[in-house]
A = this chain, B = another copy of it.
Amino acid sequence: MPRSVSYDALAGFSRAVLLSAGANTESADAATWAMMHASAHGVDTHGIRLLPWYADCLRSGLAKGHPEIRVEQKRRAAVCVDADGGMGHLAMYRAMDEACALARDCGIGMALVVNSTHFGAAGAYTLAAAQAGFIGMVTANSGAFVVPHGGFKPIHGTSPYSVSAPNPGGEPFLLDMATSSIPWNKVLRYRTEGLELPQGVAVDTSGAFVTDPHQAVALAPAGGKDYGYKGAAIAGVAEVLGGVLTGMRLSREQDGLALADSRMGHFVMAIDPTLLMPLEAFGLRLEDYFDGFKAQPGTYAAGGPEWEHRRRREAEGIPLPDGLHAELKAAAEKAGVDFLA
């Protein structure tokens, strides 16, 4: 068993590191909420492990610590949220708030986020919508790590797609997925650990599928050898809505090495689920849908594994394996803040 830390202790530590690295309170809080969302729900790729890197982004100036977020109404149901080069999290929570307010008024609402940086787990923002009683949707492109189906040169990011839906009587629907099968850091981890990659998830310089992580130079889209065009097409939607519609960078124009960039665009949308029925009725029908999974043990609706993680981690704390523990300790020293007990 790796050592574990309580949610509150880890969140407090995260805020302290980000404030020390130059973030204002709003930015530090938003980034902390988003990371803690991921850590609490078992999405460790986007959890507290990103903290040292976010702190570096603040110190290097890649992300502004004191952005002036500006919201401009473009049409009755659409706003543009200018993140002013700050951390993506604050702009994204604000954008989802705006989209929900528009949806309450207009039935559906959209917020286009511009001049942003990395925002962490997309599910943090769609779940915020669901908790406020709205269906939330987020997509965004990201630095190019994924070749097109049958290709050899990355042009898509692992670009996320997330949709959540409210369920007043139980757990919401929560989809938060990458459009590649695996994240790039899984390749890096498998190199370190000397493991073989699954079939159909990574390619070498010629675009051939490989399972040796040392030969892998890029990811394949979700769908693998035969159906990768499906994952690539959903990454294409992220490109169209996150990169083209917002006037921001395409994935292949972003700095893949830094894992993030400035001038990133994000797409945020909310829908009022009460157009045709009360929210309670919507939740009951969602439960009817979930019942189809409950009748088949071992299957999960989108979000199911996340709720199991959250229940366990709320009870037992967030696990910190040795490697992560050492990274956070180093981040504490760099920031000059006390490390977790």
Contact = CB atoms under 8 A, between A and B. Distances in A.
Interface residues of A, number: 77
A64 interface: no
A240 interface: yes
Interface stretch (A22-30, A33-41, A86-94, A221-229): A221-229
A58 interface: no
B173 A240 contact: yes
A107 interface: yes
Nearest to A107: B78
Contact of A247 (B148, B165, B277): B277
A33 to B, nearest CB: 23
A198 interface: yes
A51 interface: no
27 contacts: A75-B106, A76-B77, A76-B105, A76-B106, A76-B107, A78-B272, A80-B276, A135-B240, A135-B241, A148-B292, A149-B300, A150-B296, A151-B298, A151-B299, A161-B234, A163-B237, A165-B244, A175-B233, A181-B226, A198-B226, A222-B230, A224-B224, A240-B286, A244-B282, A245-B282, A250-B288, A250-B289
**Which 8 A-B pairs rank lowest in CB-CB distance, beginning with the nearest?**
A78-B107, A75-B107, A155-B292, A77-B106, A151-B296, A233-B302, A151-B299, A148-B299
Interface of A: 74-78, 80, 105-110, 112, 114, 135, 147-153, 155, 161, 163, 165, 173, 175, 177, 181, 198, 200, 222-224, 226-227, 229-234, 236-237, 239-241, 243-247, 250, 252, 269, 271-273, 275-277, 281-282, 285-286, 288-289, 292-293, 295-296, 298-302
